[in-house]
């Protein structure tokens, strides 16, 4: 917190968590680094220019690697490179030089990275296991010439913890058989069968290939939704234990290029099994990882140590509908906060829930109570004069019989962002219609809904606000919504807008989050 936050006194105001403030919270007030208008303060964004999908996420020797689709010469998409950053905790990031540059085979499109522990590829140097990046080569000339074969899968290797890379001389390792959209390989080690498994997107489905050595690949299967010809991108596949059991299921993630629940692009998934060759599941059971408009190409980290055991991932916090024209000047786009995925089973089948990673503690300041057992019968400001860069609200309401529970963030420009729960719709929402700048795209100013079939007596919301984004983790991560916004002045007030009915907040806390850029 930069200076004292004034909480409007509604009830007992005491420190609920009594966590000590982190020692390193003094910010450099003189620095204008990462202080441009709309610049995210607790999310990863590139220092300058264009970024899209997260790529090559792998954990190795204490570092979480984040590579990303990057065009270093402009704030709009162009010839793709892999930008690179590392982090000890997925929260604080160190920028590193560009990892992969376009070459004679084309631009470097999305892909993944693994540690080849046993040097199955033979690309190691005998000292440490090679880090292998698997990516799509996109040949712009082939595309311009109207061929269908301009995307293929290639690999590169590094012997120095991802700092420098050599492209494999035999690229591509998977040639294009004549499918125009043929990209975004994600590779995992299939422990049970001692084989590498690759999943990638081929137009309206995922294709599976297996390999003993990351170089020779054999097609092994496919999965799509019959009759549905939306474009698939950036798939991921992984096993995950069902919470509270020792059953393991497999999840196939598929980012969809259109018709996500609130329009445009979004990340979906299926839960099923893996038969050693392909994902097996019910294609009619497509679910959404995030109901907001701004979580695309979400993929998970490779090689998280077994002692940790979490399934961790991150998404691109934008939407192809307007990504190229959002009103930022020096850079474009940020990543979501890193998230832990868990799988649970209830009457509705198997469903993923997403939680912000525990490492957010690195930047949590002291929590302050907003309210305990307070009933609101009229619009009430619950937090005012906010001057924190980012913060987290943890709010629990009684489920009202009807109406809405609405939380409004507002500024002195009469701009408002609403987050809430609608009883009759049985769903959560984010309404950014009047949240700030929106004239750059017709679809931007809108009301977004998130399904919340999870049975409840309490409405639980964790809301994480940064200067240009809000992430809602409702019902303990069972309904997640990520939306970006562009307020022309910081929101300084949080209100409960109770209009037609009383709403009771059982508890609510506010935790300022320290900026990650120094």
Question: Cα separation of 518 and 514, whole Å?
Answer: 10
- Of 255, 261, 253, nearest in space to 230 by CA: 255
Question: Cα separation of 130 and 309, whole Å?
Answer: 22
**What residues are paired with 507 via a beta bridge?**
372, 396
Q: Which is nearer to ligand FRU, 179 or 304 (CB)?
A: 179
Token pair for residue 450?
């998130």
Question: Cα separation of 205 and 210, whole Å?
Answer: 17
Q: Which is nearer to ligand FRU, 203 or 454 (CB)?
A: 203
Q: Which residues contact 144 (CB under 8 A, 6 or more apart)?
A: none
Q: Which of 53, 406, 475, 483 is catalytic?
A: 53
Q: Answer for the pair 314, 267: CB distance below 8 angstroms, yes or no.
A: no
Residue 361 annotated in active site: no
Q: Which is nearer to ligand FRU, 80 or 407 (CB)?
A: 80
Spell out the SS3 assignment of 27-94.
Answer: CCCCCCCCCCCCCCCCCCCCCCEEEEEEEEEEEECCEEEEEEEEECCCCCCCCCEEEEEEECCCCCCE
Cβ 316 to ligand FRU shortest distance, Å:
7
Cβ 51 to ligand FRU shortest distance, Å:
10
Please calculate the CA angle 464-467-469 and round it to the nearest 5 degrees.
50
Q: Which is nearer to ligand FRU, 231 or 451 (CB)?
A: 231
Cβ 297 to ligand FRU shortest distance, Å:
5
Distances (CA, A) of 478 to 63, 146, 394: 29, 44, 15
Cβ 232 to ligand FRU shortest distance, Å:
9
**Exposure on the CB side of residue 190, measured as CA atoms within 13 A:** 25
Cβ 136 to ligand FRU shortest distance, Å:
6
Question: Cα separation of 184 and 202, whole Å?
Answer: 9
Cβ 109 to ligand FRU shortest distance, Å:
3
In the complex, the residues that contact ligand FRU under the rule CB under 6 A are 52-53, 69, 80, 109-110, 136, 183-184, 233-234, 297
Cβ 108 to ligand FRU shortest distance, Å:
9
Q: Which is nearer to ligand FRU, 34 or 320 (CB)?
A: 320
Cβ 255 to ligand FRU shortest distance, Å:
7
Q: Which is nearer to ligand FRU, 234 or 240 (CB)?
A: 234
Dihedral sign computed on CA atoms, order 73, 89, 492, 23: negative
Q: Which is nearer to ligand FRU, 268 or 408 (CB)?
A: 268
Tell me how crowded residue 204 is: count the other CB atoms within 10 A of its CB: 18
Distances (CA, A) of 36 to 41, 45, 47, 327, 485: 10, 12, 11, 11, 15
Beta strands in 242-308 (DSSP E): 248-256, 266-274, 279-281, 287-288, 296-300
Q: Which is nearer to ligand FRU, 53 or 415 (CB)?
A: 53
- Of 184, 278, 181, 185, nearest in space to 231 by CA: 181
Q: Answer for the pair 503, 27: CB distance below 8 angstroms, yes or no.
A: no
Residues annotated catalytic, as ranges: 53
């Amino acid at each position: 917190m930069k200076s004292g936050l004034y909480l409007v006194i509604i009830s007992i105001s005491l420190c609920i968590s009594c966590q000590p403030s982190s020692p390193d919270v003094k910010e450099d007030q003189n620095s204008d680094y990462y202080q441009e208008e709309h610049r995210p303060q607790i999310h990863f964004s590139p220092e300058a220019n264009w970024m899209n999908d997260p790529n090559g996420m792998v954990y190795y020797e204490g570092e979480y690697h984040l590579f990303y689709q990057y065009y270093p010469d402009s704030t709009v998409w162009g010839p793709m490179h892999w930008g690179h950053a590392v982090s000890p905790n997925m929260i604080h990031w160190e920028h590193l030089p560009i990892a992969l540059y376009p070459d004679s085979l084309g631009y470097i499109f999305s892909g993944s990275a693994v540690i080849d522990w046993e040097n199955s590829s033979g690309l190691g140097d005998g000292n440490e296991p090679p880090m292998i990046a698997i990516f799509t080569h996109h040949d712009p000339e082939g595309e311009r010439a109207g061929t269908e074969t301009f995307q293929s899968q290639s690999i590169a290797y590094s012997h120095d913890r991802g700092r420098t890379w050599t492209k494999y001389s035999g690229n591509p390792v998977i040639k294009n058989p004549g499918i125009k959209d043929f990209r975004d390989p994600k590779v995992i080690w299939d422990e049970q069968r001692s084989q590498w498994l690759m999943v990638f997107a081929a137009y309206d489905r995922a294709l599976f290939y297996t390999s003993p050595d990351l170089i020779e690949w054999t097609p092994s299967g496919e999965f799509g939704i019959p009759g549905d010809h939306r474009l698939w991108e950036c798939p991921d596949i992984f096993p995950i234990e069902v919470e509270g059991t020792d059953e393991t299921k497999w999840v196939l993630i598929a980012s969809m290029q259109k018709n996500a629940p609130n329009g445009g692009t979004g990340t979906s998934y299926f839960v099923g099994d893996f038969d050693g060759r392909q994902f097996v599941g019910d294609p009619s059971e497509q679910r959404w990882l995030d109901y907001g408009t701004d979580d695309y190409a979400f993929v998970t980290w490779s090689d998280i140590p077994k002692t940790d055991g979490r399934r961790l991932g991150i998404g691109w916090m934008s939407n192809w509908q307007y990504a190229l024209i959002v009103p930022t000047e020096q850079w474009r786009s940020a990543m979501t906060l890193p998230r832990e995925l868990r799988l649970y089973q209830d009457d509705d089948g198997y469903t993923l829930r997403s939680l912000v990673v525990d490492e957010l503690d690195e930047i949590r300041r002291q929590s302050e109570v907003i309210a305990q057992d307070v009933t609101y019968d009229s619009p009430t400001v619950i937090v005012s004069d906010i001057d924190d860069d980012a913060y987290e609200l943890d709010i629990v309401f009684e489920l009202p019989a009807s109406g809405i529970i609405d939380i409004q963030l507002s500024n002195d420009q009469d701009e408002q962002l609403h987050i809430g729960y609608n009883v009759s719709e049985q769903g959560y929402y984010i309404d950014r219609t009047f949240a700030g700048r929106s004239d750059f795209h017709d679809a931007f100013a809108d009301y977004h809904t998130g399904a919340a079939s999870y049975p409840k007596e309490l409405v639980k919301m964790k809301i994480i606000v940064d200067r240009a984004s809000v992430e809602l983790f409702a019902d303990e991560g069972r309904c997640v919504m990520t939306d970006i916004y562009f307020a022309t002045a910081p929101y300084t007030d949080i209100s409960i807008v109770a209009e037609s009915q009383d709403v009771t907040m059982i508890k609510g806390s506010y935790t300022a989050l320290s900026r990650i850029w120094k």
